[in-house]
Every structure is written in structure tokens, then in C-alpha cells.
Amino acid sequence: MAKDTEEKREQTTSFNVLIVVVSLAFIWLIVPYYGAILWATILAILFHPLQVRLTVLFRGHRSIAAIVSVLACICIVVLPGSALLAALAQQATDLYNTINRREFDPATLLAQLRSALPVRLDQWLSSLDFTQFSDLQSRLTSFLETATQTIARRAYSVGQGTAQFAVATGVMLYLLFFLFRDGPAVAATIRRASPLSDHHTDRLLRAFVAVVKATVKGNLIIAVIQGGIGGLTFWALGVKASLFWGVLMTVLSLLPAVGAALVWLPVAIYMLVTGDFMRGIILMVIGFGVISLIDNLLRPTLVGKSTRLPDYVVLISTLGGLSILGVNGFVLGPLIAALFFAVWKLYINDRTARQNNLPG
């Protein structure tokens, strides 16, 4: 009897090791397209209500409903996103060429800013006896040149991976069809395969769906609106590469401690200092009165209080996700952080419930 028990234990251990090894090998295999899988999952969650309505409309024909849902995703997300990337690559190319031709000279810009300062402020700066002022100016100039060239090169590279982008998009749409069609079956399989209890599995799946909706529908939509308003304002005021700066404001709007003001505020200050008061005041009014208020107006409705993370957690998780995972880190960073809090909340609730059930 003991021998049989030992053999069963060894077989169970061997099988578990096999499961881990095969699972790791499969993950290694699909890592190159984890971005396509991620966004297929996100779109399937966000457009799930549409899929449900279409399934009812087509009298239970889930395949037809899935095809229509994929077409809707293409029209609403893929085509506008591709057009935006193409336009962004073009403007990034122009900006990169402008920097290389030295049409944008940080040293000249700093000199213009100092010459535009009030006389007393300029005298005060001179009285500080900055023997290193010229050195500081040269270092700042070098930093600005490096930063602008780096930004331009990064944006310019967006349009260079066209073939890889097309393949990843195709994989995403192909997977999206099956997620739409077989979504309930996939969810049921995950529940059965989960080593956790049914209660914990259901709670975590619901938390995952809620976090995806809050992160994408909330944070990304708010960031797109802020960046869109900023880009349109730049375009209306005649600022060059307005689309590029609008996209940059969208990215920065995902960071609660930074925000789009990191782009529009220096531009507005430069306009005011150089005597372009009308454009500077307009940009200030729109920046403070519209762009900065959108977050406070829309976030409670789109994100909600139940899944909202503290701003410092969003900032750290977004920066960490960006540095480790690239562009997808803007979504995965806050998503991992939110799931971390959800798991610990489950643990705390279960522990509290057990303590309350103990005999006094």
C-alpha cells in the first residue's frame, strides 16, 4: 500500500513538472506576439456587450456575430489607429529633419528667452555671478538637442516596422474572432483549469475584466481626449508638428503626476516670454481651463471608485511597465498593479471572515 502511494505521489509530481515545463515552453513560444494577444483580449472584453447584442440579433449564430464584431473593431480602432500612426510617422520625419538641419537651435532659443526677460530679472541673474552660466547653458543646450533628437528618432521608427505591425494586427484580429465566438467556453475552461477555488477564480476574473475596462476605457480614453484637445489647440495656434505633440500629450496624460502640461505649459510660457501674448494666453486658458479639468470631470464616470488606484501607484506602475514592456506597459503596468491589489484584497477579506467565524 505504501509503495502504491509513493508511486502515485511520484507520478503526480512528474505530471505537475511536465505541466509547468510545457506551459513555460508555450509561453516562450507566444512571447513575440504577446502584444497582439493582449490587445485581442482587451478588445474582446470592451466589445463583449456588442457581441452579446449581435448574437441575439442573429438568433444565436455566434460566428456571424463575431465577424460583425471584428469588423466593428477594425472600423472603430484599427483603421483610425493605423491612419494616426502613418500621420505621426510623417510628422516625426519632418521633425527629425528639422532638427538635423539645425532649424531648431536650443542655444538660440535660450538666448531669445533670456533677452525677453525683464531687465531687473536679467540683472539679478547676472549678479548671481554664474561663472558657470555659459557652461550651464551649453549643457542645457546639449541636453535639449539630445532629448529632441531621441524623441524624433523614436517616433520616426514607428513607421519602419510596417511588416511586423501588419502581421501582429492580423494575429490580433484572427484571435479576436475566436475570443468573440468562443468567449464563454474559454472562460469556462479557465475556471475549470484554475487551481484556485471557484470563489477566488470568479472574483479574480471579474476583477480582471473590471480593471481592463477601467484602465482602457477610462485612462486611455481620458488621455486621448486630453491629447486630442492639446493637439488641435497646437494646430489652431500654428505650432509645428501638432499631431506629434498631441500624441506626446496623450502619452504623458497617462501619468497622473506629469500630465499633458509637461508639453503645453512650456510652449505657453515661451509664447508669453517672447511677446506672443495672444497665443500664449489662449493656450494657457485652454490648458488650465479644459485639458487639466477633463481628468476630474470624466474619471469618476469612466473609471469609478471601485477599481481606481491611487495616483502614485498608477504613476509608478505605468513608468515601470513602460520601462520593462515598452508601449504595452502603459496598459499592463496599471493592470498588474490593480490585480495585485485585488488579490491582496481577497486575501484580507478571507482572513477577516475566518477570524470573525472563530469562536470567541
pLDDT digits (tens, 9 = 90+) for 207-252: 778 777 777 777 778 888 888 899 899 999 888 778 878 888 887 7
- The residue that leads in pLDDT, 183 or 141, is 183
Q: Is residue 37 part of a domain?
A: yes
131 pLDDT band, cuts 50/70/90, is: very low
Q: Is residue 144 part of a domain?
A: yes
Q: Is residue 169 part of a domain?
A: yes
Q: Is residue 10 part of a domain?
A: no
| 110 and 38 in a common domain | yes
Please identify which residue in the block is written with the cell numbers 502511494: 5
Give the helix, strand, coil percentages of the chain, each rounded to 5. Answer: 85, 0, 15
304 alpha carbon, distance to own chain's centre: 18
Residue 274 has pLDDT above 80, yes or no: no
Q: Is residue 130 part of a domain?
A: no
Buried/exposed code over 33-45 (b: 16+ C-beta within 10 A; e: otherwise):
bebbbbbbbbbbb
H/E stretch holding 319: helix 311-325
| 115 and 213 in a common domain | no
| 219 and 150 in a common domain | no
| 332 and 228 in a common domain | yes
Does the pTM exceed 0.85? Answer: no
Give the side-chain half-sphere CA count within 13 A for 183. 26
| 344 and 205 in a common domain | yes
| 180 and 273 in a common domain | no
Give the pLDDT mean for 47-63. Answer: 91
Cα–Cα distance, 311 to 186 (Å, whole number): 34
Can you read off the three cell numbers belonging to residue 119? Answer: 531687465
114 pLDDT band, cuts 50/70/90, is: low
Nearest to 245 by CA among 228, 258, 269: 228
Q: Which long-range contacts (CB under 8 A, 24 or more apart) does 72-79 make?
A: 72/47, 73/43, 73/47, 73/173, 73/176, 74/173, 77/43, 78/169, 78/173
Q: How many domains does the chain have?
A: 2
Q: Which residues contact 148 (CB under 8 A, 6 or more apart)?
A: 95, 99, 104, 106
| 224 and 176 in a common domain | no
Q: Is residue 12 part of a domain?
A: no
Q: Is residue 5 part of a domain?
A: no
175 pLDDT band, cuts 50/70/90, is: very high
pLDDT at site 144: 52
The domain of 250 spans 197-351
Can you read off the three cell numbers belonging to residue 204? Answer: 479574480
pLDDT at site 70: 94
Q: Are 99 and 152 in contact (CB under 8 A)?
A: yes
In tens, the pLDDT along 332-344 reads 887 888 788 878 8
| 208 and 298 in a common domain | yes
| 234 and 147 in a common domain | no
In tens, the pLDDT along 276-326 reads 888 889 999 998 888 888 877 776 666 655 556 777 777 788 778 877 877
Nearest to 328 by CA among 241, 220, 222, 226: 220
Q: Is residue 232 part of a domain?
A: yes
